[in-house]
């Protein structure tokens, strides 16, 4: 079933927002969620559309969500283009992320408030970002933590925009990095104490299990997952199955489903 509204965002647990690039990854993510009886978000965003196009990828994600036996949201990730947000809302996305983190604070507030008004009118919830998150969500490489989110500024931002969820920078970076990344959980707890919007963690790939569990305990309700599924997908495609495409697809789906299930269980906590 397509998950509409913010019901998938509950304090004390985090929903996994897993990036999909293909029909195989969409199937794997939903399969994992159904096996566990847990909600999940299919993150089908601007950076995913390159090879197959927005409408086909979105149509597959939305069809899978509607046919699922568990709540599945379809989420637009890291979008900086208001027109693309409107297009995805028209397609039926259940949530969108407007990323104005590269803007000055007041410009980010203004842009986010505009998107919140339009998305809420369409029945979708909105995520925004405050703070500098480095790295590339579609590939791994060298990246260092950027400017961290200020708790007081996060509280002001959420109050002025009415945003439904806020992605923060607390030492996290996109993708795998050569050196281990650790979260500033003290800062994260300080943000959660004053910010009325539930928090989102990007760049969770490769983080120690204790940091992820600690982030959820501190108030994170959504965690983005991407790089680990990409690696599982690419590794599965190396299998020697002759010219049996269906077998290769099956191997890739199961490999990704195993990774997705591990993340869904870890983030769901005791719920």
8 Å CB contact between 163 and 116: yes
Euclidean distance between CA atoms 17 and 29, whole angstroms: 10
Catalytic residues, by residue number, are: 77
**What values do phi and psi take at 18, rounded to 5?**
-110, 125
CA dihedral 42, 43, 46, 47 (to 10 degrees): -110
């Amino acid at each position: 079933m397509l998950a509409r509204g913010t019901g998938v965002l509950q304090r004390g647990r985090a929903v996994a927002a897993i990036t999909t690039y293909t029909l195989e990854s969409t199937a794997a993510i939903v399969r994992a969620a159904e096996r566990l009886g847990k909600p999940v978000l299919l993150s089908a965003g601007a950076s995913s559309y390159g090879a197959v196009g927005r409408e086909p990828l979105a149509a597959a994600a939305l069809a899978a969500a509607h046919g699922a036996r568990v709540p599945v949201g379809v989420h637009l990730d890291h979008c900086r283009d208001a027109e693309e947000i409107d297009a995805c809302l028209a397609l039926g996305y259940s949530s969108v992320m407007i990323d104005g983190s590269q803007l000055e604070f007041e410009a980010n507030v203004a842009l986010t408030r505009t998107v919140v008004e339009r998305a809420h009118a369409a029945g979708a919830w909105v995520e925004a970002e405050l703070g500098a998150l480095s790295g590339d969500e579609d590939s791994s490489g060298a990246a260092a933590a950027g400017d961290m989110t200020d708790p007081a500024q996060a509280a002001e931002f959420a109050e002025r925009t009415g945003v439904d969820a806020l992605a923060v920078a607390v030492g996290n970076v996109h993708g795998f990095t050569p050196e281990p990344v650790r979260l500033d959980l003290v800062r994260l707890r300080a943000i959660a104490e004053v910010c009325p919007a539930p928090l989102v963690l990007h760049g969770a790939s490769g983080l120690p299990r204790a940091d992820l569990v600690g982030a959820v305990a501190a108030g994170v309700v959504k965690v983005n997952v991407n790089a680990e599924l990409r690696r599982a997908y690419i590794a599965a495609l190396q299998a020697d199955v002759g010219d049996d495409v269906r077998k290769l697809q099956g191997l890739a789906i199961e490999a990704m489903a195993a990774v997705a299930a591990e993340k869904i269980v870890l983030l769901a906590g005791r719920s």
